[in-house]
Amino acid sequence: MGGKQKTLAVLIGTALAAGLTSPAFGFTATTGAHLPTLRAATPGSGMSVVEWNRELITILSDPKAQPSTVHPTRSFALLQAAEYNAVVSITRAEPAYLFSVAAPRGARADAAANQAAHDVLVALYPAKRASVDRRLSSQLSAIPDGSGKQAGIRVGAAVARRLVSLRSHDGSAAKPPPFSPGNKAGDYRPTPPDFPTPVFTNWGSVKPFVLADGSQFRPAAPPAVSTAAYATALNEVKSLGSKTSTTRTPDQTAAGKFWAAAPVWNVWNQVAQDLVTSQNASLEKAVKVFARLDLSLADTTIAMYDAKYAYRVWRPVTAIRLGGTHYNPRIVGDPHWNPLLPTAPDPSYPGAHGALSQAAATTLAGFYGAHHRIAVTSKGVTRTFAGFQEAATEAWLSRLWSGQHTSLDNRAGQQLGTRVADFVARRL
C-alpha cells in the first residue's frame, strides 16, 4: 500500500481539490426438482440482509430485468428501506423511514425483514418471482414456526405494500425527453467512438428518498471552459487519462480499469456485505447499515443527475479533440486523443464515481470508523485500503486516470456525496 498511498497523496494535492400491481404479495412456495441450494441465515443475524442484497445484484445482472431508463440505485433503496422498516416496526429501537406499521407483541423481526425483501423484489421484478420465492422459502425455513413468525410475515408484507405504493408515482417511470446536444464550447454532446444517446436525462427530477428534491445540494457552477482553472484540470486528464499515456503509472492503469469493471453502487454494496458478514452483525445493525447506504446512494444519484443536466458540461474527450478551436489558449487540441476507457454517456460535471463513492465511504465510516481496513473486490480482482476514504479517493481518481473526468468533476462529486450522506445519516 505504500506506493499507492504516496500516489494518492500527490494527486489529491494537485486535484482542484415500478408500481404495485396487486393488493398484496403473500409468499407462494415454489416446488419442483433440481432447485438450487439456497443459503439460509441464522435467525436474528444480519446474514439474511446480505443474502437479499446479493439476490438483487444477481437480478440486475440480467440487462432485461428492468427498463434501461430506471436507475438500479432506486431498487437497492426500496429493498433496504423495506427491510429496515419491517424490523423497526417491531423493535421500535430506531426511527422509522417515513412510516411504521402496527406489530403485535412477539412478532418476529427476521420473518418481517425476509417477507418485506421478497415482496419488494416481486413487485419490482415479477419475472424473477421463482428465484425470489425460493430465496424466501430458504430464509423462512430457518425460523421456527409459530404465531410470532406469522405475525412477522404480515408486518413485512404490509411494509412492502405501503412502501412500493408510496414510490409508484416518483417519476422513475417517466419517459426521458429527447436529448438535444449543444454546439457551443463547453456544451455536452455524445462521445466517441459510438456516440451513445444519454439515458438518465430526467433522473434528476425523480422524487428523492430523503432529500427534499434533487437540487437541494446542487454544486456551484464549474469554471468556464475558457478559464485557467479549466485548462489546468483538462491538461491533467489529457496527460494522465490518455489511452497511450506515458505519465500514468501501471498501478493507476490497473485502478482505472478496476473501478470501471462493475457498477460502482454494486461494489460498495458488496463492501457492506463483507463488513456485515465478517463482523457477524445483528439483524438490527445490518438493516440500518444497508438502508443508510442505499438511501444515500439513491439520493446521490438523483442529485448528481440534477446537476449534470443543469450544467451539461462536455466530457474531456470532446474538450481535448476540440482544443484546436481555440476556446482556451492554454489548451492544445488533439483531434485523435482517446481516453483509456470508453466515456460514459452523460455530462461530465459532477463525476459519478466521486459522488457515489464519497457517499458510500461517508456512510460506512459512520458505522465502522474512518480507519477500518477494507478489501474491495471487483470482477475477481481485490485491492486493499487503509480506510473507506482511501478507497473512495482512488475510485474518483480512477476516473481521471481512465480519461473520464477532470478534477473539477471529481471535486464537485465528492462534495455532493458527502453532503447527501450526512443529510441521510441525520434522519435514519
pLDDT at residue 178 in the model: 87
The Cα 217–Cα 213 span in angstroms is 9
Q: State yes or no: pLDDT of 385 exceeds 50.
A: yes
For range 15-21, the mean pLDDT: 32
More confident residue, 29 or 48: 48
The Cα 385–Cα 401 span in angstroms is 18
For 242-351, where are the alpha helices, taking DSSP H only?
Answer: 250-258, 264-278, 283-311, 316-321
pLDDT at residue 43 in the model: 67
- CB environment 335-367: b (16+ within 10 A), e (fewer): eebbbbbbbbbbbbbbbbbbbbbbbbbbbbbbb
Other residues' Cβ atoms within 10 Å of the Cβ of residue 238: 25
For range 200-223, the mean pLDDT: 98
Q: Looking at the DSSP assignment, which residues form a beta bridge with residue 242?
A: 339
For range 203-227, the mean pLDDT: 98
Q: 264 is written with which cell numbers?
A: 460502482
pLDDT at residue 335 in the model: 97
Q: 252 is written with which cell numbers?
A: 493507476
Q: State yes or no: pLDDT of 227 exceeds 60.
A: yes
For range 272-295, the mean pLDDT: 97
Q: State yes or no: pLDDT of 207 exceeds 50.
A: yes
Q: Which residue has the cell 445540494?
A: 217
pLDDT tens across 397-425, in order?
999 999 999 999 999 999 999 999 999 99
Dihedral sign for Cα atoms in the order 77, 83, 89, 95:
negative
The Cα 183–Cα 385 span in angstroms is 42
Residue type, 61: S
Closest CA to 210 of 152, 139, 293, 142: 293
pLDDT at residue 381 in the model: 95
pLDDT tens across 44-96, in order?
789 999 999 999 999 999 999 999 999 999 999 999 999 999 999 999 999 99
Question: What is the reported pTM?
Answer: 0.90
